[in-house]
Amino acid sequence: MNPLQVFRDEIAKEIRAAIKTDTEFPIDEPPEGLGDFCVKCFQFAKQFRRSPVEISMDLETRFSNNPLFEKVEAKGGYLNFYVNRREMARIVLGTVLEEREKYGNGSKKGRIIVEHTSANPTGPLHVGRGRNPIIGDTLARVLRALGYEVQTEYYVDDMGRQLAILAWAYKNLGIDGEEKKGKKEDHVLVELYRKGNELFENEEKIRREIEAIIRQIEQGNREIIAYQRKIAEKCMKGIVATLERCNIHIDNFVYESEFLLDGSVYEVVERLKQSRHAGCEDGAYYIDLAPFGFHGKDSKFFFTRGDGTSLYTTRDIAYHLNKFSRCDVAINVLGEDHKLQAKMVAISLQELGVERKPEILFYSFVSLPEGKMSTRAGRVVYLDDLVEEAVAKAKEEILKRGRESKVDVDKVSVAVGIGAIRFNIVKIQPEKQIVFRWEEALNFEGNSAPFVQYAHARAASILRNGNVDIRKITYNAEHLRTPEEDALIKVLAKFPDVVDTAGEERKVYLIPQYLHKLAETFNTFYRYVPVLNAGEERETRIALVYATKCTLANGLQMLGIEALEEM
RNA sequence: GGGCGUAUGGCUUAGUCAGGAUAUAGCACUGGCCUCCUAAGCCAGCGGUCGAGGGUUCAAAUCCCUCUACGCCCGCCA
């Protein structure tokens, strides 16, 4: 249940009755100190040809004896609602204590596939595209919390030139036994990939050799495709290990070659040829994009080569048709470099008479102060290295505080390190560009995961010290007397709204933002309001602490960050 | 040349789609708080012509137009 909805429903009901309308109007939150909800009467002024001030004063009288509100006040055309604190507290504590780890969850229906990461299997994941798995996984978690059946999916490109180069290098260059020692598969392979690339660029003979392999792949040579896939899977082992370490689980891996091998790409090709916007140039087929508003260089989308073989985007279309058969909503998390390609997929689907479109969440790259990351140039920060650094830094912080005798150092440092990375990445809107700086990535204060985890640990600590049996928590709203308690109740009440918006509008950054606010509010409460040493308020304050702990834990769960009992 | 995106205090950032009351936080900086449930914390202070210029409106960070800077893309690559 959503506690705020109780109040909003009441406001909406009364106002609709008063102004005799069925139309929806927004119920907002006023600036600090002006109440809990507000309705802007300007919007009604035109319709009734009366001043907003008059309207608001009229409406004010309608709420004069409403038990849900302490005070309803017309002010300069706004109608401000001050909720009844006791009522709010009763509803919030009642709801959270009943729903516990389900507080904030929903009961939405539908199958959603979130495709994310889908990085080329030619080396380790790096921070440049590191937002992809984190945003994707977080969105999947939020949507699951809302009740959807969610599958996460990684589309593995096992047909590209990059992998062909790697596979060639693997077969022909071999691996130095010494170098391999103790290294993850993806890190071993990326060295081969780099060497292969160098040869591909500089040695004519080798380039021709690899290009011949690529042609064979495109023509559907099963033996070679199987080999490519084997190499891709080798690399995927390393990538998956990195993801799992970050609490990111992928449900399905779909290999691009499958759509060539099962013939579905060629069905797509045949159907696209029938489009009235299809054309042919030297045997290569394309869709003319001019009717769709494209000008200049990119006004043709080629979906076959001159020799009739398919292209990456064509196979992506086949993949989407397949995906649509398995879900109601398909969400793809993609780098901003895929915008044009995604548009071409969308147009092609339309040309195929498919009504559906994938929903796309684009993110901008994480770059380094010295520029864009590049695997080939070796100018990268690998996600594995970032994780290692973060965990090491977390450990350092634990030792600095002398907590090593009280906590499981390894467990806590992993939870804090991984959490810090995830939180820092997901808290920023995906379309904003990020410049990677170690000191920011490893910041454990303020708006960060450790801040939230710390608040959770403090709440846990109170319950532990008080020997609280969480199955028998009771409360009495009359015992809430401090402004710190009121503030906490109010923030707790907002959680279901936040989760709903984060999921439905695909704005995952709302969750960390909210958790920071909740943790901060709790910390202030913690500082000024004694719990275990309180008198008759003790039970109710314990309930409030527990409700906060549940909410923090629920939010952290959605971020894939561990809620620690101690740190 | 064309397309898409971004621009808010020294740095990072919310609010922009659905215009409205004092523009949200964090970092940094200054000052204060551990005889009391974990100081990865709390309190106070400092700091903003919301990229520039026009327009619409009773009201613009938010809508419209023009421009600038930065990022990404524009291959019968992936």
Cβ atoms within 10 A of the Cβ of A67, count? Answer: 9
DSSP string covering A68-136: TEEEEEEETTEEEEEE-HHHHHHHHHHHHHHHGGGTT------EEEEE-----TTS--BGGGTHHHHHH
Confirm whether any atom of chain B, the nucleic acid strand, is less than 7 Å from CB of A213.
no
CATH node for A3-83: 3.30.1360.70
Residue–nucleotide distance: A49 CA to B56 C1' (Å): 22
Confirm whether any atom of chain B, the nucleic acid strand, is less than 7 Å from CB of A526.
yes
Residue–nucleotide distance: A433 CA to B69 C1' (Å): 15
CA distance A227 to A151: 28
Q: Which CATH class is domain A116-367?
A: alpha beta
CA of A338: nearest nucleotide by C1' is B73
Question: What is the interface pTM, i.e. ipTM, of the complex?
Answer: 0.96
**Going by C-beta distance under 8 Å and a sequence separation of 6 or more, which residues neighbour residue A562?**
A247, A415, A418, A419, A453, A556
> What is the per-residue pLDDT across A55-97, written as a single tens digit (0 to 9) for each?
899 999 999 899 999 999 999 889 999 999 999 999 999 999 9
Average pLDDT value over all residues in chain A: 94
Nucleotides of B under 7 A from a protein CB: 1-7, 12-15, 17-18, 20-22, 25-28, 36-43, 58-59, 70-78
> What is the per-residue pLDDT across A21-49, written as a single tens digit (0 to 9) for each?
777 788 999 988 899 999 999 888 877 77
Tell me the three-class secondary structure of A13-76, residue by residue.
HHHHHHHCCCCCCCCECCCCCCCCEEEECHHHHHHHCCCHHHHHHHHHHHCCCCCCEEEEEEEC
> What is the per-residue pLDDT across A126-144, written as a single tens digit (0 to 9) for each?
999 999 999 999 999 999 9
Confirm whether any atom of chain B, the nucleic acid strand, is less than 7 Å from CB of A522.
no
- Say whether pLDDT at A355 is over 70: yes
CA of A316: nearest nucleotide by C1' is B78
DSSP string covering A508-533: TTHHHHHHHHHHHHHHHHHHH--STT
Query: Residue A24's pLDDT is what?
Result: 79
pLDDT level of residue A215 (50, 70, 90 thresholds) = very high
Domain boundaries, chain A: 3-83, 116-367, 388-558
CATH node for A388-558: 1.10.730.10
Nucleotide B33: nearest residue by CA–C1'?
Answer: A527
Confirm whether any atom of chain B, the nucleic acid strand, is less than 7 Å from CB of A327.
no
CA distance A310 to A265: 7
Confirm whether any atom of chain B, the nucleic acid strand, is less than 7 Å from CB of A319.
no
Output the six-digit token pair for A88. 């709010």
- Please calculate the CA angle A85-A87-A90 and round it to the nearest 5 degrees: 105
Confirm whether any atom of chain B, the nucleic acid strand, is less than 7 Å from CB of A411.
no
Residue–nucleotide distance: A510 CA to B29 C1' (Å): 29
